[in-house]
Every structure is written in C-alpha cells, then in structure tokens.
Amino acid sequence: PSALLRNGDPVGSFARLVREFCVEAGLTPDLMVSTVPGFIDIDGDRVLFAGNVPELNGHHLASELGDVLGLPVIIERDSVLVLAGEVIAGAAKGADSVLGLFFGTGVGGAFLQGGEAFRGGGWALEIG
C-alpha cells in the first residue's frame, strides 16, 4: 500500500482507493475508521510517525481524509483496533482488562481497560 501513496499526494491517493472500494462494494458509509501502523497524536488526528508508511507522517489524516471524503474519519493505532476486535468477538471476548502484544514488521501493543485504550502520551506500547 505504501507504494500507492508515493505520488506526492498520499491523502488524495488514499481517498481514491476508499472511493473505488466503496463504489465496487456498493457501500455508502456514514463514518470511516482507519488503522495506522505507528504513532498518532493524542487528539487522534495527526500521524506522528508511521515507519512503514512514511508518506503519512505529519499528516492530519483524520481531518484531511474526512474533508476529501466528506464524512467523519477516525484513525487509530492498528494494535488498539486489533485488540478491540479480540475483546468484542475473539480470544479476549468479554474481558475488562486486556494487554495485547503484536509482532509483524515491528512490535506493537495495546492495553484496554473498560473498553478504553491506555494512551500515555500517545506513544504507549508502541515498542518498535
């Protein structure tokens, strides 16, 4: 996916991909949620650092993408959304306090308590 964003307009490219997907799937979403493999500011808008998708670094992705698509956009660290899925319907279903560690191109983690992600200063549990 990173190669698709290297044309100097990563937000526009991302928006085109979303629109194409929605048209092909016949979807008209009221809201979009997107994961980011890295660090997001405490307001949940700007990508502070995404080592594997550096084209997004510094972008206010939620607001920029929302403006282009004309709908609200929520961005969240990928590890938080993966763990939330496990709490809702997976191995941690129903648990109140859950720690998840995820190994891929890097090592990430998340801690959810009462359905809320522990964020620290915005960098919590992003190990490297």
3-state SS class at 113: strand
Q: Do 7 and 26 have their domain in common?
A: yes
Question: For the segment 88-106, what is each residue's pLDDT rounded down to a tens digit?
Answer: 999 999 999 999 998 887 7
One domain for residues 58 and 103: no
Question: Which conformational region is residue 107 in: left (phi greater than 0), alpha (psi within -120 to 50 degrees), or beta?
Answer: beta
Residue-range definition of the domain harbouring residue 43: 2-77
**Count of structural domains, the chain:** 2
Whether residue 58 sits in one domain with residue 29: yes
Residues 32 and 57 in one domain: yes
Q: pTM, whole model, 2 decimals?
A: 0.85
Query: How many residues are listed for the chain in this entry?
Result: 128
Q: Are 110 and 122 in contact (CB under 8 A)?
A: no
Output the domain CATH number for residue 64: 3.30.420.40
* Pair (10, 58) in one structural domain: yes
Q: Are residues 90 and 45 in the same domain?
A: no
Q: pLDDT by residue (tens digit) across 6-50?
A: 778 899 999 999 999 999 999 999 999 999 888 899 899 999 998
